[in-house]
Structure 1
Amino acid sequence: MKIALCQLNFKIADFEGNSSKIISAINEAKLKDADLAVFSELAICGYPPLDMLENKDFIDRCIESIQKIAEHCFEIAAIIGTPIINKNEFGKKLFNSAVFIENGEIKSFHNKSLLPSYDVFDEYRYFEPNNKWQIIKYKNEKIALTICEDLWVEQPVENSYTKQKLYTCSPMNELMKFSPSLIINIASSPFSINHSESRKKVLCENAKQYNIPLLYVNQMGANTELVFDGGSMFINADGKVFNELKYFEEDFKVIETNSSNNNIPEIELSNNEKIYKALILGISDYFKKTGFKKAVLGLSGGIDSALVLVLAAKALGYQNVHALLMPSRYSSQHSVTDALMLTSKLNVSYDLVSIETCFSSFESSLIPIFNGKQPDITEENIQARVRGTLLMAYSNKFGNILLNTSNKSEAAVGYGTLYGDMAGGLSVIGDLYKTQVYELSNYINSHGEIIPRNIIIKEPSAELRPNQKDSDSLPDYKILDKILFAYIEQKTPLNEIVEMGFEKQIVEKVIKLVNSNEYKRFQTPPVLRVSSKSFGFGRRMPLVAKY
C-alpha cells in the first residue's frame, strides 16, 4: 500500500487554515497515487488546544471541519487526529481520537487509550481513556491505529523513588488480538534534547516486538512554548528505520509499505543544531501565529542578549528586529563597542539611549524616602527596571514584541529583576543553562564568526555596580549548572548531589535560591522549551510552601 506521511504545521483553532492544509495534502497524495494520507494527532485543531476543548463550539467546528475534508476523500482514504464527543453515559466528555475516512465518509473513530498527565501534558483533564479496540481493514492491510502515548506503555519514568511503568494497560497487546499487519501511530510529540532518540527507540522497539512495520506521523511547528520537531518515519518489522522525514520543517512523503526502495539513511543532527533549529522555529511561529512581525530587545554587550539577537534576526529577518543599547555609569566601553559590532554584523537597526538621566531622577526622588540608607541591590534593580520601561515603551509605540534574554541558570536562582530584565513577551533562551548559551554561541560561530569573540570570552557581568561580576554572587557556571540540572531535571535530592562531588554548602545555597525564587519564575513570559523540564507549564511548584 502507498501511504502519504503528511507532516504539517498547524495553528491552534485555525480550522479554515488547518483544513486547507489537510485538503491540499490529500490532493497531492492523490496525484502521487497514494492509497492513504496520514496526519498528526489533533491535526484538525492543532495541539495542545488546552481549555479551548471545554467550549462546545470549538468541538462543533472540529467535527464540521472533518466532514468538509471527507468530501475530498474519494479514491483515497485519510487518517486525521481530532477531538470527538464521548457519547457514553459516564466519563469525561471527550475522546482524543483519530478518524478514518474512506469514500467520502467517516468510517470509524479510534480513541487514544493512554493519556499523559506529566510535565507539559495534561490530557486526562479533558479526555476519557479508550477501553474498546478495533482495527482498520483497508486494501490488503489490517491497521492497528494508535495515538502517540499509546506506544509508550513499556517506558519507565524516573523519579526520586524508583522506576515504574506508567500504565497498566497495553493498547498494542489488545490490538494484536486482531492480527494487524501494520501499526500507524499519529502524534504531537514536542521536542526536547535527546527526546528524538528516545522516541525513535520506542517506535523501533514496538515494531520489532510485534514484528509489524510501523508508520509514524508527528506534528511540526511551534505553539507558544512547545516546539514540535516532526521527524515522522517508517520502520520495518525488524525495527529498522527505513525512511525518515525532515526535522523542524513541514514535509510530505509517499512510501510503499512493501517496497525496499524505502531504505533511506536516517537523519542525524547534533544537539546544538537541534536547539538552534528549535529556537528559530519557536520564535518564527510565535510571531506568525500571533500576528506580530517585529521584535525588540535590550542589547547589553553580554552573551545572552547577543545570542537572542542572532536567533531573532535569523527567525524574523534582520529588518524585523530592533536593538536598544542602554548603557549606564557602570557599563564598560567594550560592552557598548561589542554590542555595536554585533548590530553591524547582523545589519540590525538600533538606538543607543543612556539610562543615566532616568536613573539619576529616581535616585533624587528617593532620597527623602530612603533617608540616608546606603546603596544596595535596590539601586541595581532600579537600573534594570528603567531599561525594562524603555523597552516596553518602544514595544508599545512601534508594536514590537519584547524578547526576553534571561537564561535558565539566572531564572533558576533568581538572578534577575522582576519588571526589569525579566520582562518580555517571549523568553527565547530561558530553557538554556548558561553553559549551554556558550555552547550554542560557539556552534553558531563555527560556521563563521557572527558573535564577536570578546562577547564570548569576557567574564559575565550584569554591570549594575562598579566592577561587578556574576561570580560575586554565584558559583562558577560549570558547577552551578550541573547542580541545577541534577536538582531540576533529574529531581536528585540534596544529599545525593553532594555525593556527586559538590561542596555541601554550595549545594545548599543553590537549592535554597531555586526554592525561594519560585515567585519570580511565576511571573516570567512563556519559555521556549528545549529540555525535559523547563520552567513554566511543565514544572508546577507552589509559591507558598516550606521547602
Structure 2
Amino acid sequence: MKLAIAQINCIVGDLSGNVRKILDYADQAKKSGAALMITPELALSGYPPEDLLLRNGFRGACRDVLADLAKKIDGITLLLGHPHLVDNKLYNAASVVREGKIIATYLKNQLPNDSVFDERRYFQPGSDPCVFELDGMRFGINICQDIWEEGTASRARKAGADILLVLNSSPYHMRKQNLRYKIVRQRIRETAMPIIYANLVGGQDELIFDGASFAMNGEGELTHQFDEFKERLSLIELQGATLVSGYIAPTQTVEASVYQALCLGIRDYVGKNGIPGVVLGLSGGVDSALTMTIAVDALGADKVEAVMMPSRFTADISLLDARAMADTLGVRYSEFAIDAIFNEFQDTLAGKFLAPPKLGGPDLTEENLQARIRGTLLMALSNKYGSIVLTTGNKSEMAVGYCTLYGDMAGGFAILKDIPKTMVYQLCHYRNNLSEVIPARVITRAPSAELRPDQTDQDNLPPYDVLDGIVEAYVERNLSLREILGMNYAEADVRRVVYLIRQNEYKRRQSPPGVRVTQRGFGKDWRYPITAKYRDEF
C-alpha cells in the first residue's frame, strides 16, 4: 500500500486555487498508485486565515467548496485539512473523503495560543479521537499541536489506530526540525505507532512553512525525510503497519536553511500579492548587499532595481562596490545624489533650528534627514512603478532602534528583519561559497551608516557579537537581566541594550513585516506595550 503526502504551498483565502491544487495533487497521487493522500493542516483555506475566520461569508465559502471538492474525489482516499463549522461553532478539522463523500471528520483537540498562534481566538477544541480504515489498516488522525502534548496520540491508539497521520502547518525557525523529531519520538514511545508527519510549505506574510515532511517507524527511526522549502508529492510505502524505508533528504547547514527560508519568504510575498517587482537602496554596505542578493536569487534580476543615493559622507569605495554588485547580479541600477536635496532641507529649517532656545549645531536630526530623503526617493519610485520597497535593516538594528522612522525603515517588506548582524555575515559567506557575488570588501570593512564623517556602527553600540548575544538572550530566550549578566556580559552593555530594546518599541510597531527565522521575532510573537512603566531590574 502506498500513501502520498501533498507538501503543498497554499494561499490564504484562495479557496478555488487551493481546491485546484489539491485535486491536481490527488490525481498525481492516484496515478502513482497511492491509496491515500494527506494534505497539510487547513490546506483548503491556507494557514493561518486569521480574522478571515470571523467572517460568516468566509466560513460559508469554506463549507461550500469542501462539499464541491468532495464530490470530485474518486479512486483515492483524501485526508484534507479545513475549517469546519458545526452549530455555529468553528473547528480546525481534517476530513476523510472517499468516493465523493466525507466519511469521517476529526476536530483538532489541542489549540495553540502562544508564540505566533492565536487558534483559541477562532476555533473550539475537539475532544474525540478519529480512526478510519483503509485496505485493512486503521489510521488515526492528529493535527499539529495535538502531538506536542501528551494524551491525544494515545487516545487514537486506544481507539484502535495502527498508524498515526499528522496534518501540520508548522512554521519554520532555525533548528525546528530537530525539535519536531524529538516530539514525534516522545509520542512513538507512548504509543508504539509509526507516525507520518505532513507539513505545509510556503511563505505567508512573516511566517515561513518549510515542509520537510517526514515519517518514523514504531521504534522512532526516521524512514522518510522529504525536502525543505519545496512543493512536492512524496510517496511512502507500507507493508502492513510497517513503513518501508525510503527517501532521506540530505541534511542542510543552518545557513543554507535560513537562506532558502528568506528566498521563499520574499518570493511568496511578492508573488502571492501580485507585486511586479522590488526596489531597494543599495549603500555599499553588507545589509543591502545581502538583501539584493536574496531578492535576485528569489525573484530574478529582472524584478529587482537597486538605487544608490550618495551624499557628501559616502565613501568612494561604497559607490564602487555598489556599482560592481549591481553589474554582477544584472539588476537595474540608478544613482541619485542627495546633497542638493539635503541642503534644501537644511536651508528650509535653518531659521527654526537657530532660533531660541539654542539647540546647538548639527546632531542626529541631520543624520536622520539624509535617511528620510532616501526613503522618500525610494517610495516615489515604488509609487510610480508599482514595485515594493525592500528595507535592508537587520534584527540587531531593529532591536536597539539603530534605524530611522520614515527613512531606512520606509518600505513594504524587510527580508533581514529577524536576522542578527552576526548571521548577516554568515549568510554572505554562505552565498559567496556558491558563487561570489558580494565583494569581499563589503564584508570585511567596518559597518557604517555613512551619515557623518568617519562614522561606524560601533561608535554607539557594543560589538555585534555582544549585542546579538544579549538580544538573543532577552528577546528569544526571555531571560532576565540577572540571568544575562550571568553569561559574562558587562553590566553596562546589558543595561544599555535592554534599555534600548524597550525604548524603541514604538519604532518596531511601524516597521514593515519581514521573514521570521528565529524562535521569537519582532512580529506576531513579540507583543510588548509601547506605554509601560515596568522596567527589568537585576
TM-score using structure 2 length: 0.96
SS of corresponding position for 2:72: coil
Equivalence for 1:163: none
- After the TM superposition, which residues 230-249 of structure 1 pair with which residues of structure 2 at under 5 Å, given as runs? 230-249=211-230
Letter in 2 for 1:333: D
CA distance in 2, matches of 1:37, 1:133: 20
Mapped to 2, the partners of 1:13 and 1:283 lie a distance apart of 19
Partner amino acid for 1:240?
A: E
Q: In the aligned structure 2, how far is the partner of 1:482 from the partner of 1:411? A: 15
CA deviation string 1:315-334 (max 9, x = no partner): 11001100010000111111
AA aligned opposite 2:117: F
Letter in 1 for 2:310: P
Q: Which stretch has the larger CA shift, 504-513 or 200-209?
A: 200-209
Alignment RMSD: 1.2
2:337 is the counterpart of 1:341: no
Partner secondary structure for residue 257 of structure 1: strand
Q: What are the residue-to-residue correspondences of 1:369-448 with 2, within 5 Å? A: 369-371=352-354, 373-448=360-435
8 A contact 1:406–1:429 mirrored in 2: yes
**d(CA) in 2 for partners of 1:222, 1:207:** 30
| Aligned equivalent of 1:201 | 182
**1:271 aligned onto 2:258:** no
State the shift of 1:76 in Å. 1.3
- 1:79-90 equivalences in 2 (<5 Å): 79-87=79-87
> d(CA) in 2 for partners of 1:254 and 1:329?
60
Deviation digits for residues 476-508 of structure 1 (CA, Å, limit 9, x no counterpart): 001111111111111111111111111111110
The residue number in structure 1 matching 2:292 is: 309
Q: Determine which of 311, 322, 328 is the counterpart of 2:305.
A: 322
Give the corresponding residue for 1:122: 118
The unaligned stretches of length 5 or more in structure 2 are: none
The answer to whether the 8 A contact 2:168-2:197 is kept is yes
1:157 matched residue in structure 2:
none
How far does the alpha carbon of each residue in 1:404-426 deviate from its partner, in whole angstroms, 9 at most, with x for none? 10000000000000000011100
Question: How far 1:266 moved relative to its partner?
Answer: 4.5
Q: 1:511 aligns with which of 498, 509, 516?
A: 498
Is 1:95 the counterpart of 2:78? The answer is: no
Task: Write the letter of the residue equivalent to 2:214.
Answer: M
Question: Could you say what secondary structure the match of 1:44 adopts?
Answer: coil
1:478 paired with 2:465, answer yes
Match of 1:73 in 2: 73
C-alpha distance in 2, partners of 1:317/1:51? 33
Give the corresponding residue for 1:21.
21
In structure 1, what is the equivalent of residue 59 of structure 2?
Answer: 59
How many angstroms apart in 1 are the aligned matches of 2:222 and 2:129? 27
CA shift for structure 1 position 233: 1.4
Matched-pair contact (CA < 8 Å) for 2:63–2:85 = no
Shift in Å at residue 29 of structure 1?
A: 1.4
User: Aligned to 2:101, which of 96, 101, 105?
Assistant: 105
State the shift of 1:134 in Å: 2.8
Is contact 1:293–1:316 with CA below 8 Å preserved after alignment?
no
SS in 1 for 2:228: coil
Unaligned runs of 5+ in 1: 155-169
Secondary structure of the structure 2 residue equivalent to 1:13:
coil
State the distance in 2 between where 1:224 and 1:125 align.
19
Cα distance in 2 for partners of 1:25, 1:136 equals 22
The CA deviation at 1:173 is 2.3
TM normalised by structure 1 equals: 0.95
Structure-1 separation of matches of 2:9 and 2:130? 29
AA aligned to 1:16 is S
Preserved contact between residue 30 and residue 76 of structure 1 (Cα < 8 Å): yes
Contact 1:204 1:241 in 2 (8 A): no
Q: Distance in 1 between matches of 2:505 and 2:419?
A: 18
Q: CA deviation at 1:261?
A: 4.5
In the alignment, the residues of structure 2 paired with residue 449 and residue 133 of structure 1 have an alpha-carbon distance, to the nearest angstrom, of 54
Mark the CA change 1:87 to 1:133 in structure 2 (over 3 Å): closer, same or farther: farther
- The 1-side partners of 2:180 and 2:273 are apart by 30
1:533 to 515, 520, 527: 520
Is 1:45 equivalent to 2:45 in the alignment? Answer: yes
The aligned counterpart of 1:133 is: 129
Question: Which amino acid in the other structure matches residue 266 of structure 2?
Answer: I
Deviation at 1:210, TM superposition (A): 1.3
Q: Distance in 2 between matches of 1:519 and 1:261?
A: 54
Cα separation, partners in 2 of 1:260 and 1:492, compared to 1, 3 Å: closer
> Is the Cα–Cα contact under 8 Å of residues 210 and 229 in structure 2 kept in the other structure?
yes
Cα distance in 1, alignment partners of residues 224 and 493 from structure 2: 48
**Shift of the alpha carbon at 1:267?**
3.2
Matches for 1:111-190 after TM superposition, within 5 Å: 111-154=107-150, 170-190=151-171
Q: Could you say what secondary structure the match of 2:434 adopts?
A: coil
Task: Please tell me whether the aligned partners of residues 327 and 336 of structure 1 are also in contact (alpha carbons under 8 angstroms).
Answer: yes
**SS in structure 2 of the partner of residue 417 of structure 1:** coil
- The answer (yes or no) to whether the contact 2:227–2:249 under 8 Å persists in 1 is no
SS at match of 1:385: helix
User: Secondary structure at the residue paired with 1:446?
Assistant: helix
Letter in 1 for 2:199: N
Measured in 2, the distance between the counterparts of 1:447 and 1:266 equals 20
Q: Any idea what the Cα deviations from partners look like across 1:298-326, whole Å, max 9, x if unmatched?
A: 00000000000000011110011000100
Greater than 4 Å deviation, 4+ residue runs = none
> Shift of the alpha carbon at 1:132?
2.2
1:62-121, Cα deviation, whole Å (9 max, x unpaired): 122212221222221111000111327xxxx21000011112101121010111111111
